[in-house]
Amino acid sequence: MAGSVAYKLIKPAKFNRNAFVNAFKREAEMVADDMRADFEKTTKTWKPQDAPVFEKIIQVGKESVQVFVGTDSRIYNYVNNGTSVRYAQMSKDYSPKTKVGVIGSTAGSGRMIKIDTSNPRPGIKARKFDEAIQKLWSKRFKDCMVKAMQEGVKACGHEVK
């Protein structure tokens, strides 16, 4: 019995770099917005005048995608990174609004009585919000970039069916 095999040349569409990169930009924008929302949760109960503005920076290069979210707020960085000393004297019923490693903010209680530079107290415990958010987003970010790659390939007409 004789058989034959026929081959049909499948010519791929021209690679559309802009469509591919735009898929990464769109996904990175969504990631940055969601990450910023997580940072904003850490200051949800702060007074409006004390709440920082969180900026986002997105860089899409030839071989990498980077998303940065942060603030240059002095107060926020004291809380996030901690301090070695504290000069604020707090009321006896004081409890902080935030906890170490927790992405969120509660009402807290108490108030600052005064600033006393002659009587330094133990510093602020570093809340490490940035580390908690980075840990939360590590796998999510990779998953989002895989999704972006699939969407980019599809947008270029190179989807494998």
Locus of tokens 């049909």: 8
- Going 104 to 107 to 108 to 114, the CA torsion angle's sign is positive
Give the pLDDT confidence score for residue 10 in this predicted structure. 73
| 3 token code pair | 């058989």
> What one-letter code names the amino acid at 122?
P
In a domain, 3, yes or no: no
**CA gap 105, 35 in Å, rounded:** 16
Locus of tokens 């990169």: 21
Q: List pLDDT tens digits, range 128-150.
A: 999 999 999 999 999 999 999 99
In this model, does residue 1 exceed pLDDT 70? no
Domain range enclosing 44: 17-84+126-155
**CA gap 134, 153 in Å, rounded:** 28
In a domain, 47, yes or no: yes
In a domain, 98, yes or no: no
In a domain, 1, yes or no: no
In a domain, 92, yes or no: no
Q: List pLDDT tens digits, range 67-118.
A: 999 999 999 999 999 999 999 999 999 999 999 999 999 999 999 999 999 9
| 124 token code pair | 């602020």
**CA gap 103, 132 in Å, rounded:** 7
Pairing of strands 121-122, 85-86: antiparallel
In a domain, 95, yes or no: no
Count of domains in the chain? 1
In a domain, 65, yes or no: yes
In a domain, 56, yes or no: yes
